[in-house]
Structure formats: structure tokens, C-alpha cells
Amino acid sequence: MQIAFTGPRKLTKEQEGLIYKDFADFISNHAAEWHVGDAPGLDDFVRRTAAYYNKTLTVYEVAGNQRWHFAERSKRMIDALAKPTEGIAGQPDVWLYAFPNKLCPEGCKPCKNPNGGGSGTWLTIAYARYRGLQIYLFPQFQTRFDDDSWLPDWMREPASEQLTLF
């Protein structure tokens, strides 16, 4: 299994505590190789946590300081994983675990060159969707149980349509 991570560059202590709980309860239990960027915030948290859980870690470094360099780094990470293979019982074994701290910006959508509207996290999510990775979201903002109204349309499962015989 391969897991890439994306999230905010700044985390509050409260967010770090909640994320740590997600790692302890869910994420660390997977036999997986981890992939992450070299930014502060969530990336730094993942790098520290990988050492704690003794996970194999690949770190993708930014190659400049312009905005597009950061997007390029995220896309490079997703591209490295976008060659999914089949795992046990046919389950995909390539995932993006995303920790967005705000709603998806207007105009951000899956495509070859997504516009994250200033959110590198949502840009990475959109690009991962475009490349066909499975995505698991850990929102870092208040949501209600079973309320997915905050999801962009492109993250919703397609509604099944009942066909009629007439």
C-alpha cells in the first residue's frame, strides 16, 4: 500500500492533537509506504510521525520558491503514485490522505493543471482525483456527522440512477 499526504502548512496544537488521534487510531495500522512534501505543518507532522511508527517515507522537495514550484512538487508526488496496482481482493492500494483546513475554493476541479485558488491541499486533492487515486478526507474544520454538503461536486460519489423498462 502507498499513502500520500497533503494538508495545511500551519497546524494549531488542537489540530495536531486530532490528527495524531487519526494516525494512532487509523493510519498507522496500515502496512504502507508514506509519501509527503517538505513543507511545514502537516508535511512536517507526517515526517516526524513516520519515524515514530517506523514507516518507509519518501519526501518530495520543492525545487524553487514560486507558487508554481509548490504545485509542481505536489503533482510530482501524485504522479509517482498514479500507477495504481491491485492489492489484495482487487482493492486499490494507492491513496491520498488529505487534511483540508478550509472549504474547496471556487473553480478548483480535477484536471491536468488544477487551480487550487491558493489552497495547495485542494490543488493536490483535485490532481489526485484527476489521476485516479483513492482519496480519504480528514477535514480540519467543523462538520456534522454524515453531512457531506461541504464536499465539492466532483468529490461526491455519482448518484445511481434507477432505469425503467418503459
Query: Which of 17-26, 39-48, 111-120 has the lowest average pLDDT?
Result: 17-26
Domains of the chain as residue ranges with CATH: 2-155 (3.40.50)
How many other CB atoms are found less than 10 A from the CB of residue 130? 18
Distances (CA, A) of 85 to 1, 48, 89, 122, 149: 9, 28, 12, 24, 32
How many other CB atoms are found less than 10 A from the CB of residue 159? 5
| Dist CA 110 CA 128 (whole Å) | 8
What's the predicted TM-score (pTM) here?
0.86
| Dist CA 76 CA 124 (whole Å) | 10
What tens digit of pLDDT does each residue of 49-77 get?
Answer: 999 999 999 999 999 999 899 999 999 99
What tens digit of pLDDT does each residue of 100-146 get?
Answer: 999 999 999 999 999 999 999 999 999 999 999 999 999 988 777 77
User: Which residue pairs from 127-132 have beta carbons closer than 8 angstroms and sit at least 24 positions apart in sequence?
Assistant: 127/74, 127/75, 127/78, 128/4, 128/78, 128/82, 128/96, 128/98, 129/154, 129/155, 131/78, 131/79, 131/82, 132/82, 132/84
